[in-house]
Structures are given as structure tokens and as C-alpha cells.
Structure 1
Amino acid sequence: MDIEELLNPVAEDENISNTSDEEIFESVQMRRQAEEMMEINGGDDGGDEGQVMEKPTRKAALTAVTTLADYIADINDPFVRKLEAVLAQFGRQTRLDVTRSMEPSYITDYFASQ
């Protein structure tokens, strides 16, 4: 394979020859609009996917933390020690947030009043 083939692959030539100037222009305009929307929306380019990723559950996040902690447990590096501390703090903070969001209940709530 020579340099010319590396710089100008045959597959790209076929794509370009089948694309009109109008299609290229529309494609560039769509990309430009997406970049403008990204600035307005703070990072969401409003792409063609149309799918919004759901936020992981607390259980899934804590499972990921446990997996990471297990993976880095035998690595002896200062960065890893800091990561372990951050992961532990995340776990504690997550449990604290759940505790704070609970509604208090009393034993008398479970008995019918007369």
C-alpha cells in the first residue's frame, strides 16, 4: 500500500462521488445548528439519537463503586489511595442522603386511633 492509498482511501472516494453539493451543504448546516444548540443547552447537541439516558439508580451506582473498589484494592499507588477515599466518601454521602430523605414514623402510626 502506498501513501496515496492511505491518504485517499477508495471507500471515501465512492462516498464523495455519490454525494451532491446540496447534501454536503445541508450536512454542514445541521452540524453548525447542533453546535449552536450545544452552547445553548449546555452540552446537549440535540443529536439524532433522540434518546435520553436515564439516571442510574442508587443501587447501580453503589454496585459500580464496589466494583471499582474491588478492582483497585491491590494496586499500591497514591492516586489509587485517593480514589479509594473518594469512593468511600461517595458511599457514605449516598447513604446519608437516603437517610435524610426518609420520613419519620412513630409506633402509634401503626395502630388505629379510637
Structure 2
Amino acid sequence: MILQEAWIQGLGWDEEFPLNLSDRIAEWCLKLPQVSKMKIPRCNQDHPSANASLHTFTDASSLAYAPLTYMRSVNEDGRVAVRFVVAILRARVAPLKTVSIPRL
């Protein structure tokens, strides 16, 4: 989104970012180490399931849009497990050309 804002401002590839964008990049870089602390279970089914279903949601804003798919399973004892299947990996910044939120 920071690069997209640079394009909107008309910056070329060899131009330095203005201070407001440089500050945002520095803040983003400081937060990168936190990503390694994130834990997402890889196993999509941790117990035999009597009932499993896939659920997909999408969300959009004027800045970005992304889908999320997860699997919900319930075993014979009624224990529920929810696991991400696909998430942020498919996130995209909104196109520069104005598009309605429902269309995104």
C-alpha cells in the first residue's frame, strides 16, 4: 500500500520517498520481527471428524481486499476444531482505478 501511495503521488522509481512514506516504511520494518512469532497450525484435521465444512469470507476496503478460507470440523464427542486453509497469502491492494467496494 505504501508503494501504491508513491505511485499515486507520481514518484518515479529512482526518486526518494517523501518523509511521511519513509516513516511508514521504517515503522513497517520494525514490526517485521513480530511475524516470526505468529503460529498457524498446519494440520487441517487434528482428530477424526464426523462433520467437516469449508467456509470462505472476503473483505474489501478502498485500500485492499482479501479472501479467507478455513475448515471447521466437529468430531463425535462434539469437539470443534477450526483451521485456516488460505488467508492473507491472497491479499491484494486495491487497484489505482476507482472500483466500488462490492466489486472488489
User: The TM-score by the shorter chain falls in which range?
Assistant: under 0.3
TM-score with structure 1 setting the length: 0.24
Question: By percentage of residues, which structure has more helix?
Answer: 1
Higher relative contact order (CA 8 A, sep 6+): 2
Q: Radius of gyration: which is bigger?
A: 1
TM-score with structure 2 setting the length: 0.26
